[in-house]
Amino acid sequence: MLKDHFSFSRSERNGIIILLSLILILIVTYNLMYVFEDDESSDFSQFEKETGEYERGLMTNRQQVMKVNTEKKYSGKRKKTRKKDIGSKNIYKQENIIIEINSSDTSELKKLKGIGSVYSKRIVKYRDLLGGFYKKEQLMDVYGIDNELYSRIEKSITIDTALIRKIRIDTASFSDLLRHPYLDIEDVKAIVNARDSADSPHAPAGLILQDILPDKKYQKIKYYLEKNYQPVN
């Protein structure tokens, strides 16, 4: 009886086998797809590496852009600062000013183009040693003042030769004479010896120096000699 109920014909058995085969194929295929999907979804290392490189590239580009923008922003300020620095060094000063250099102090001299604190102090110091300037070109004897700088200020200066401090050759001491920039120690010795040995020790200073100094040197120092002094009693 049971055999009759559970017996299958040949075609039925073939159908069951095919059905089971299909079910098995589906099960295997499903499991394989799950495994592959799991492997692919769990491996993000390459993706993360490429993403990191891309983000770093973006950051680098962004930093470069920010750097360029920052440089553009502050380059203008630096240029303005340089202009201010130049102005503070007196490269660009007001035009149409006239400075009398035998009476001006350092603050007045700094109004001249190219003359700052250093040059103004040097000019005053050299002027005091000389006793004053008798011509504009003497400014080029000041350390650091060259032809270029002199040409900037030449038209803005004037000289009052009445302010020159004169030297009395008949009474000036050895050290006073030696202090003058145009006289060296040999010149001073010669002047003192000539003055002490002269028949008239109070002879006009020009006559003494013309006899003992080279003409070129005399032509420079003569502006600083007292011509009309009174003999010493």
For residue 191, being part of any structural domain is answered with: yes
Amino acid 202: pLDDT:
47
For residue 67, being part of any structural domain is answered with no
Last residue of a domain, one of 163, 183, 201: 163
Query: How many structural domains are present in the chain?
Result: 2
Residues contacting residue 231 through CB under 8 Å, at least 6 positions apart: 170, 202
Domain assignment of residue 141, given as a range: 99-163
On whether both 146 and 192 belong to a single domain, the answer is no
Q: How confident is the model at residue 225 (pLDDT cuts 50, 70, 90)?
A: confident
- Cα–Cα dist 58/164, whole Å: 74
Within a domain: 214: yes
Residues 105 and 151 placed together within one structural domain of the fold: yes
Residue 225, amino acid: L
Assign 139 a pLDDT band (cuts: 50, 70, 90).
Answer: very high
pLDDT digits (tens, 9 = 90+) for 51-73: 666 666 655 656 665 655 656 55
In the predicted model, is pLDDT for residue 158 greater than 90?
yes
Claim: this prediction has a pTM higher than 0.85: no
Pairwise CA distance, residues 71 & 20, whole Å: 77
Residues of the chain with pLDDT > 90: what percent?
A: 38
Question: Which of these ranges, 26-30, 64-68, 215-219, 226-230, has the smallest mean pLDDT?
Answer: 226-230
Q: Domain check: are 108 and 155 in the same one? A: yes
CA dist., res. 99 & res. 107, Å (int) = 11
Residue 202 lies in a domain: yes
**SS3 of 213, please?**
coil
Please enumerate in sequence order all residues whose Cβ is within 8 A of that of 138, keeping only pairs 6 or more positions apart, or say none. Answer: 130
Q: Are 140 and 184 found together in one domain?
A: no
